Amino acid sequence: MKRIFFKFATPLVTFTVGVAVAEIFWLHSTPDVTLPEVAKFDMRTSCFPGHSVWVSKSPYGTTYFPLSGLAATMFASRGYWYSRHLEAMNELPLGTIENEAESYRFLWLRTFHKPVVIHVWRTGDRHFMVVKRLNGRGGYDPGTFDLYWARSLSENDWDAFMIHLEHTEFWLMPTPNPGMMAMDGAQWIMEGYREGRYHVVDRQSPEPSAYADAGLFLLRQSGLLAEIPANEVY
């Protein structure tokens, strides 16, 4: 039995050693291959500045939606409605906050449910998020604070949101809701301020889209989406 074992084991060991030697020879004899560099692409720049308007940074500004479509006569009532909720949330116009190099604000006004605002911004290489919720109803009286907290935002989460905005082509989107407004629904208002330029987009209960995904991303990061029943997300 031992003779049979050694009879088969010896060729097996010889074969294994041969393969190993051949592999080492191949590794040392193959010329170095230089891989091409991967092109770097700034996900934030392809649609900026788009339809944004120049709004110089000033602590004295009082207008929430400066020089935007919401300031037009036919949309002035919407601007007043949204501003009323932002004031109740102690939110400032984005162009007046001097320590924010780049900032975005999502105002979610559901007709029969609590108003929500999520404000994210960058200061240097640090990122932050503030979440506020009132106890009123988005289509009626704002109410008072029901929830208010702030935390830092990781660089990965900030970059993920930038990619959402890029997929949305946020800076190229027209401000007003292009269709007629329904009596009931939810307003999804997204503002942005960057490099001295301001833009705002207003949509009512958007269909599944990149824009809706951007709002849902912020709601998910805030933790609110996990506690809101599915039939109240509209």
Where in the chain are the domains?
53-232
pTM beyond 0.95, yes or no: no
Residue 19 pLDDT class (50, 70, 90 cuts): very low
**Domain covering 53-232: architecture:** 2-Layer Sandwich (3.30)
Residue 95 pLDDT class (50, 70, 90 cuts): very high
Give the pLDDT score at 178.
Answer: 64
Cα–Cα dist 168/161, whole Å: 11
**206-212: average pLDDT:** 97
158 in Cβ contact with 127 (< 8 Å) = yes
137 in Cβ contact with 164 (< 8 Å) = no
190 in Cβ contact with 221 (< 8 Å) = no
Per-residue pLDDT at 80 exceeds 70: yes
**95-122: average pLDDT:** 97
Residue 179 pLDDT class (50, 70, 90 cuts): low
More confident residue, 200 or 184: 200
**105-109: average pLDDT:** 98
